[in-house]
A and B are shown apart, each in its own frame.
Chain A
Amino acid sequence: MMVTPGWYMALAAALFVIGVAGILLRRNALVMFMSVELMLNAVNLTFVAAGRELNVIDGQISVLFVMVVAAAEVVVGLAIIVAVFRRQQTASVDELAELRG
């Protein structure tokens, strides 16, 4: 029995939906951030599987760029979370309403 790239894509879709669940259900900013990382990983897996299916290496190049952008995003996002925590003593997104008009 062969494992076709479609199987990987199905698994990636499941991981992506779990990531969306984390965004929707959790309130800890850190866990929401990890959910974003999970979604990015799922999309990366899709890229690689599709690249293998289509016989092009561009999928893997795209994954490389997504990883770079994700790394930059993690650095800035975690710095923002720490900065917010220093001011508000909380990492719950429900209590961060400073910008509310």
Chain B
Amino acid sequence: MVELVLFVIFGLAAFVGAITMVGARNAVYSAMGLMLTMFSVAVFYVSNAAHFIAVVQVIIYAGAVMTLFLFVIMLIGVDRDEDRREAIPFHRPIALTVLVLFGAGVLVAGRFAWVTGPVAGGDPINGTVEAIGGELFRTWVLPFEITALLLIIAATGAIGLALFRRDSEVGR
């Protein structure tokens, strides 16, 4: 019962946040809508016994990633109006048609291909730090180390992109 109430409330919140993100003219409102959606998804993680993932979601996504987004929005200006004319002929009708077809495909695939019942027995999973850490460092050590490498490469690449600029740009 509690889960149902949580699902309804935060499902609506996630939906409204996502719609706001796509529809808002101001990029800051978009970021706020996405943040609402991310917090709601964190609540769903808790409902699904993924406690550690929920904490990581709040810290990484709602915290770090959205802060980064807001910084960049502030950097490149929030008051620039987006050009809403259609550059490609029939851009919007075609996009909406593709979208409807895609949504219908997702629903059909979900109706016929989603799992419908537990296939493995045993205790219900509980995504505590112990459970996640045990699995991560027993079975998934190599991918874990590779993600460390990936993060270092990404950080180096970002620094490189910010650091090297052509001489003509300096002082602009």
Contact = CB atoms under 8 A, between A and B. Distances in A.
Interface of A: 1-3, 5-11, 13-22, 24-28, 30-31, 33-35, 37-38, 41, 44-45, 48-58, 60-61, 63-65, 67-76, 78-83, 85-87, 90-92, 94
Q: Per DSSP, are chain A's interface residues mostly helix, strand or loop, or mixed?
A: helix
Contacts of A14: 15, 18
A69 B135 CA distance: 19
11 contacts: A9-B114, A19-B18, A48-B53, A54-B120, A60-B125, A71-B151, A76-B158, A79-B158, A83-B161, A92-B82, A94-B87
A15 B106 CA distance: 11
A22 to B, nearest CB: 4
Interface of B: 1, 3-4, 7, 11, 14-15, 18-19, 21-22, 27, 30-31, 34, 37-38, 41, 44-45, 47-50, 52-53, 56-57, 60-61, 64-65, 68-69, 72-73, 75-76, 80, 82-83, 87, 92, 95, 98-99, 102-103, 106-107, 110, 114-125, 127, 131-132, 135-136, 139-140, 143, 147, 150-151, 153-155, 157-158, 161-162, 165, 169, 172
Given A64-B56, A64-B136, A41 B157 contact: no
B30 A48 contact: no
A66 B9 CA distance: 26
Given A61-B132, A74-B65, A68 B151 contact: yes
A22 B24 CA distance: 11
Contact of A55 (B7, B45, B118, B139): B118
Contacts, number: 226
Given A6-B114, A79-B157, A52 B48 contact: yes
Given A51-B50, A65-B143, A75-B68, 13 more contacts: A15-B37, A20-B102, A26-B22, A35-B21, A38-B21, A45-B44, A57-B132, A60-B53, A61-B132, A72-B153, A74-B65, A83-B165, A86-B169
